[in-house]
Amino acid sequence: MTLYPSKIYWALIMLFSIGCIALGIYLIGGDGIITLRGITIRGITITETLFGQILCVTFSLVIFSSVLILWPGSSWLKIGPDGIRHQVIFRKFHYRWSDISRFEIMTTQIGAGNTKSKAKFVSLWMKPDDQMRSLGECYGKTPEELLEILESYRNRYG
């Protein structure tokens, strides 16, 4: 079984990034000043031009990485009798069923304060020293669905 990254998800990421770049271009052309006020950044002032440039550079990198992930043949997850073959942006990994001790869904908090969100990843632990590896993508499945698929293959072939 071969799974690929969700094209809809990454296309939405690229559309959002294009919007942020458009906002950055708009801000670069402005003359105002945005003052950041907060507990830890009080008194730091950046111009709209600098903020626009930061937006443009950051989201250009996001678009670049999205294109690399969606590039044909660059990212996939192959699950078979010999184990898991995993490729992310042209980097290949292979995990044999006999080397995997267990799978689990890991939840990671992203952000702090009022902007907290949680991301779920499917992780696997490698024998003999119980090292954790995480799959950074669920390949068009929910983490629960991917975990169920991996467990069924491991039970069948492991």
* Same-domain status, 8 and 66: yes
- Model confidence, pTM: 0.71
In a domain, 76, yes or no: no
- Answer whether residue 38 shows pLDDT above 60: no
In the prediction, which pLDDT does 31 show?
A: 60
User: C-alpha 124: how far from its chain's center?
Assistant: 17
* Same-domain status, 101 and 63: no
What are the distances in angstroms from CA 53 to CA 19, 83, 157?
14, 45, 52
User: What is the number of structural domains in the chain?
Assistant: 2
- Answer whether residue 115 shows pLDDT above 80: no
Average pLDDT over residues 7-34: 85
In a domain, 80, yes or no: no
The secondary structure of residue 38, as a DSSP letter, is: S
Extract long-range pairs of 5-10: CB within 8 Å, 24+ residues apart. 5/69, 5/70, 5/75, 5/76, 5/137, 5/139, 5/140, 6/138, 6/139, 6/140, 7/70, 9/140, 10/66, 10/69, 10/70
* Same-domain status, 101 and 151: yes
In a domain, 85, yes or no: no
Domain that holds residue 119: 96-157
- On whether the CB atoms of residues 51 and 29 are closer than 8 A, the answer is no
* Same-domain status, 10 and 64: yes
In the prediction, which pLDDT does 70 show?
A: 87
Average per-residue pLDDT in the chain? 84
User: C-alpha 48: how far from its chain's center?
Assistant: 29
